[in-house]
Amino acid sequence: MSRKQQLLRRHRRNKRIGLLVGLLMLLACGAWLGWWLVPLLALLAWVAHEAWFADHLFYAPGEDYQYRFSVEAEVPGVRLHGERLAVTLPQPLQGDETLILAVTLRSRWLGRFFDPQVQLSAGDETDVQAFERSVNGLRYLNLTGLGGALGEGRLQLRGRFCRLVGEPRLWVFGASDARRQRVMVIAPHADDAELAAYGLYSQADEAWIVTLTAGEIEAEHYQRMGMSRADAARLKGRLRAWDSIAVPRWAGVPEQRCVQLGYFCLQLPAMQAEPDRAVASREAELDDTRLFRQFNALALPGDDGVPSWNNLLADLRALISAARPEVLVMPDPLIDPHPDHICAQAAVREALQGLDWQPRTILCYANHLHDNDRWPMGDAHTGVSLPPVFEAEPLRVPYSLVLPAEVRRDKAMALGMMHDLQPPMPFKRRLRRALQKRLAGRRWPAEGENEFFRKAVRRHELFWRSDI
């Protein structure tokens, strides 16, 4: 069982215990004050839960995030004078550095019911980064894109529903611009490349998009159209295979550089465990990947249709050798808990062993988290602070890009073309959003209903960099 599944099981167990305790309290109130109060109090408790306590937050908001950064990257002497951030930089910034500021946040009383925010401003330059309700600990702001204001002493930080205490710490991470290099994005499923790296690959001098699986399972939306489970899974897989080839064209990536390998969703761990064995789809009643590879313009070793780990490695080796990427973008196995994402990174690492061509840089991303389903917190088009990390981590090197408004708009449209993000929300989620909008001040973007339109269409794209 994965760590996230363990956390979710514990969360549900605690919720059942809480419901039982609440029921006993309701019955006691009914016996004492009158039974007519029971349904009213039950309704009010449900409304409060949906508005303020329905987030999947698997840690205490009073815990400090724990990151280890290079001592050489830290800038000494950072001070917060009132709301103004004062720092003397050892050398002028070039404008493309990744800037990370550690701050200690203390939630105000209203921060238990409204999302605490840090507002960053310098004249016309503004940003907002949100955090957990009742936050009370060390957090990491992303100041990338505000370096000019920082260097000139114009950057101001203001807490909303929270306050900043103590002295902040600043790190400056320089790196060559990945957009000026050949980029290959490894996507475990159609839409992973767009969610994590549309801004990067759409602006790159040359980009390749390689999608590993068809993402055919959980096709209930298509079953409601009258199809069998297997037929619905095949249709969903074909649609997502098409999306993986067609949507990057919106960003200017040529068709011959978009590849769908067609392996089956959530079967990568089984393939990795037995590299020679063909592992069939869970739901599509298929043991041949060619149905989902039909849109490829390139011939690959796995075109025999065998869904095995060895074929996946052979496909990746052929693609890396042909594309010769300087920057390889793939999931981060330390932060992203999805089994296919973990195996995608492992497959790329294994495929690179012994290859003549090696990329200069690896950038890792996280589209899912162990601990917090709402990260990045806050509204669409606002900044992305660092995600929650609580275990001892290796030395981390963040790499962040700022997306202009027109790129964010195009990214939202790219997500809107993805069939998996199009089905309407269930009624319960619509009702929860309506309550949170009115009672908790939350907002969702007009571009789409799916939660990824809020989480992925942001001022920043955030990666973790390592050199080969």
Say how far apart CA 185 and CA 299 lie, in whole Å.
Answer: 19
Give the CATH number of domain 71-173: 2.60.120
Q: Are 432 and 374 in contact (CB under 8 A)?
A: no
Own/partner long-range contacts of 226-231 (Cβ < 8 Å, ≥24 apart): 229/283, 230/283, 230/284, 230/285
pLDDT of residue 101: 98
CA dihedral 400, 404, 409, 412 (to 10 degrees): 0
Give 3-state DSSP helix, strand, coil % of the chain, rounded to 5.
40, 20, 40
In CATH terms, 178-467 corresponds, of 3.40.50.10320, 3.40.309.10, 3.40.50.300, 3.90.76.10, to: 3.40.50.10320
How far apart are alpha carbons 155 and 168 in whole angstroms?
13
Alpha helices in 34-94 (DSSP H): 37-52
Q: Answer whether 452's CB lies under 8 Å from 407's CB.
A: no
Q: What is the pTM of this model?
A: 0.92
What is the Cα–Cα distance from 314 to 372, expressed in whole angstroms?
Answer: 35
- Please name the residues in contact with 194: beta carbons below 8 A apart, sequence gap of 6 or more: 247, 248, 411, 414, 415, 418, 456
Tokens of residue 353, six digits: 């062993």
Q: Are 216 and 233 within 8 A, CB to CB?
A: yes
Here the tokens at position 42 are: 């039950």
> What's at 140, amino acid-wise?
Y
191/235 Cα distance (integer angstroms): 17
Nearest to 439 by CA among 50, 159, 161, 106: 50
What DSSP string describes 251-312? TT--GGGEEEEEEPTT-HHHHHHSTTS----SSS----THHHHTT-SS--GGGG----HHHH
Q: How many CB atoms lie within 10 A of CB 8?
A: 16
Domain ranges of the chain: 3-52, 71-173, 178-467
> Looking at residue 381, what DSSP letter applies?
T
Mean pLDDT by 10 residues, the chain (468 residues): 58 64 64 63 81 87 94 94 90 89 97 97 93 97 95 94 96 94 98 98 98 97 97 98 98 97 98 98 98 97 98 98 98 93 97 96 94 94 96 86 98 98 94 95 95 98 88
CA distance 144 to 154: 15
